[in-house]
Amino acid sequence: MTSFRKTLVGAAVTAATRASPGTITIPGDKGGVLVAIELQVFGTLETVVNSGGLVELENDAVDWKPFQFYTHGLTVVTSGAAKAHPTRIPVHKRLPPNSTVTIHYTPQDDQSQKLAVTLCWETDINFNEGQQTFAMTGIGDAITQVTVAAKHVTIAIPAEKGGTLRAIQVQVWGTLETVVNSGGLVAITNDSADMTPFEFYTQSQTCVTCGAVELEPATIPCTKPCPSRSNMYADYTPQDNQSQKLSMTLIWTKS
């Protein structure tokens, strides 16, 4: 078994619309099984504005869809510095030789930022169709409340691609405020399966007078049903009424 890694660093984008920063081509003699992706955003830090956004990956030789994730982000109040960690996500996908992976990126904001994506794969291991990873995202509209925002995020699982939920990634995109905590309580439900009780807290960000923070995704491991044609919901109860929204990524294996 041999490990390989190949990275794309896209050109800077300056719009909050879907862009295609580039592709990664797999060598003809080095196909295998994709075991992880790593995401990193290099942004121009702006006051109370969040960098980061949605990444979608497609392969021209096999059907990967849906396969999408949110990156980490950075934000600052007045002044400050923060260190951003690459987000590593374990996956299991067929990665054929000579195939091309196209990356799409939709930033949260129009500040100048670059996306880096690293594909990590192994050769000489078997691809298991029953362990194939799918991932799908949703994001709520900004809210300013400390009460339950019912069905703040809704994700519709595609037909013929349901399975078993293995992890949930959540990310809080808030307006950073002095001595105020973002984040809150998430409760997950599904309209075709009994998932309750399934609640957890998100990460949180705060500062005093000035400062910068990393908005880092939190990963919640789980084993839950993820039926085809079902809707997964996230109710969200913030700790504070600062403007914020929650993004959620479902990561499941196909039955």
Nearest Cα to 176, choosing from 78, 38, 43? 78
Find the mean pLDDT for residues 7-25: 95
Residues of the domain holding 36: 2-254
Segment 177-197, tens digit of pLDDT: 889 999 999 999 999 999 999
Question: What span, in angstroms and rounded, lies between the C-alpha atoms of 198 and 203?
Answer: 17
pTM for this prediction? 0.95
Find the mean pLDDT for residues 206-221: 92
Neighbouring CB atoms inside 10 A of 132's CB total 21
Question: What span, in angstroms and rounded, lies between the C-alpha atoms of 201 and 168?
Answer: 12
Segment 169-179, tens digit of pLDDT: 999 999 998 89
Model confidence at 89, pLDDT cuts 50, 70, 90, reads very high
Segment 230-239, tens digit of pLDDT: 999 999 999 9
Model confidence at 1, pLDDT cuts 50, 70, 90, reads confident
> pLDDT > 90: what percent of the chain?
91
pLDDT of residue 238: 98
Domain count, the chain: 1
Find the mean pLDDT for residues 193-210: 94
- Output the CA–CA distances (angstroms, integers) from residue 234 to 55, 151, 166, 198, in the order listed: 20, 5, 16, 10
Find the mean pLDDT for residues 197-202: 97
CA-derived radius of gyration, the chain: 18
Handedness of CA 58, 59, 64, 65 (dihedral sign): positive
| Edge-first strand listing for the sheet containing 113-123 | 2-9, 113-123, 32-43, 87-95
- 53: which residues sit within 8 A by CB, 6+ positions away? 16, 41, 70, 71, 73, 105, 106, 107, 108
pLDDT of residue 135: 98
Model confidence at 209, pLDDT cuts 50, 70, 90, reads confident
- Output the CA–CA distances (angstroms, integers) from residue 146 to 20, 49, 205, 212, 238, in the order listed: 37, 21, 16, 24, 5
Model confidence at 115, pLDDT cuts 50, 70, 90, reads very high
8 A C-beta contact, residue 229 and residue 173: no
